[in-house]
Amino acid sequence: MTAVEIAPFPWSDVWGQDAAVQMLRTAASDPAALSHAWLITGPPGSGRSTLAYAFAAALIAEGPDDEATMRQVLAGTHPDVTSLRTDKVIITIKEARALVERSYFAPSAGRYRVIVVEDADRMVERTSNVLLKALEEPPEQTVWVLCAPSEADLLPTIRSRVRALRLQEPEVADVARLISLRTGVDHDTAEQAARHAQRHIGMAQRLATDMSARRRRDETLRSVLGVRGVGTAIEAAGAIIQAATDDAKALTVERDEAERAALLRTVGIAEGQAVPPALRAQISALEEEQKKRATRSLRDGIDRVLTDLQSMYRDVIMLQYARGETLINRELERELTALAAAWPVERTLLVLDAIADTRESLERNVAPLLALESLLVTVSSGRTP
């Protein structure tokens, strides 16, 4: 099976992970090979969640021919799979406790009860500790599947209780072929999207199908290349934050409005009718959840910008070491070649370090605008502010 051949159902949406698929197929069919808790790690876009749900489907179904059950699992409607994904900054202790409670229920219809945590890296230490006992002594027919970018994103106490499975990063050519098959875009657009997304399948699909997203990315990189001092650094940082904010709003506003309308219908309030005082707490709780989701969406948008900037200065390093055949941003080769000639390698490394520091600052809740301004001042001056 190559990276673009279709695997047997329910593994057909998992691409380029032959070894991982084989291991989990064996575990689903052979109790002797099955661990009670798994940790699937891999870079963003490698298919962690897709693989986790395919595994859950294979575990719960009565066998490879039980396609109806597997489709129910993949659709998120089977009673024996419980999943936790979050649009917020962190997974809360309340959410973790609900998962643990659910994990002790016997399967109601399938062979196993499966608990999938898609964003296990978003648990702080106190929340992780809630899971420890459940991971250490789960019921015989419960299987936990955690997903995270790397093992280092989880506490050692969690890592010691799970079987780790590291996914491979797909090749650009494989991602491009997949995107072409899924979306019908031409090969050149798919290849550019796969390259710019650095093989992140979901982001590549968005870039391939959304011209405005491709334009925003190009404008952002060119604006940073145009930074020449503190004034232009501050101006570029503001523009990036505004673009990320607008993008986050576009992704969340429709969902927010639908959720509010659904809640009002549930409590019997017509559109435009005043909310009674007794129900305002429910509305406030929903709005608070939506604010947390918006914060996460904005952070994710800024992180994507930082990933793009990292790819650009990585290209500069490659040019400085005469490795230009591996450029991610080939469309900017002329500008990046000039930059590589103008800067010493040490300055490029300083900028890459500053991007990593900016990521850490955002995780510590530093104001995004201040963090980006600081980064771009470093870019423009070659010195940390």
Residue 184 pLDDT level (bands cut at 50, 70, 90):
very high
Residue 4: pLDDT over 50? no
Spatial contact of 230 and 380, defined as CB atoms under 8 Å apart: yes
> In this predicted structure, what is the pLDDT of residue 300?
82
Residues 6 or more apart in contact with residue 34 via CB below 8 angstroms: 27, 28, 59, 143
Strands 37-41 and 81-84: unpaired
What local confidence, expressed as pLDDT, does residue 221 receive? 96
Amino acid 1: pLDDT: 41
pLDDT at res. 258: 76
pTM: predicted TM-score of the whole model, two decimal places: 0.70
Average pLDDT value for residue range 288-308: 83
Neighbour-count burial for 21-59, b at 16+ CB within 10 Å, e otherwise: bebbbebbeeeeebebbbbbbbebbbbbbbbbbbbbbbb
Q: Is the pLDDT of residue 328 over 70?
A: yes
Residue 334 sits at the vertex; the CA angle it makes with 332 and 340, to the nearest 5 degrees, is 95
Interval 337-344 mean pLDDT: 95
Least confident of 116-120, 226-230, 286-290, 371-375: 286-290
At position 41, the amino acid (one-letter code) is T
Q: What does the pLDDT read at residue 256?
A: 75
% of the chain exceeding 90 in pLDDT = 57
Name which of 84-93, 106-115, 144-153, 156-165 the model is least confident about: 84-93
pLDDT in tens, 129-163: 999 888 888 788 999 999 999 999 899 999 999 99
The three-state secondary structure class of 79 is coil
Q: Does residue 10 have a cis bond before it (omega within 30 degrees)?
A: yes
What's residue 89's pLDDT? 67
**Nearest CA to 294 among 250, 259, 354?**
250
385 pLDDT exceeds 70?
no
Across residues 98-116, what is the average pLDDT? 93
Q: What is the pLDDT of residues 19-57, one digit of tens each?
A: 999 999 999 999 999 999 999 998 877 889 999 999 999
Residue 268 confidence class, pLDDT cut points 50, 70, 90:
confident
Mean pLDDT of the chain: 88
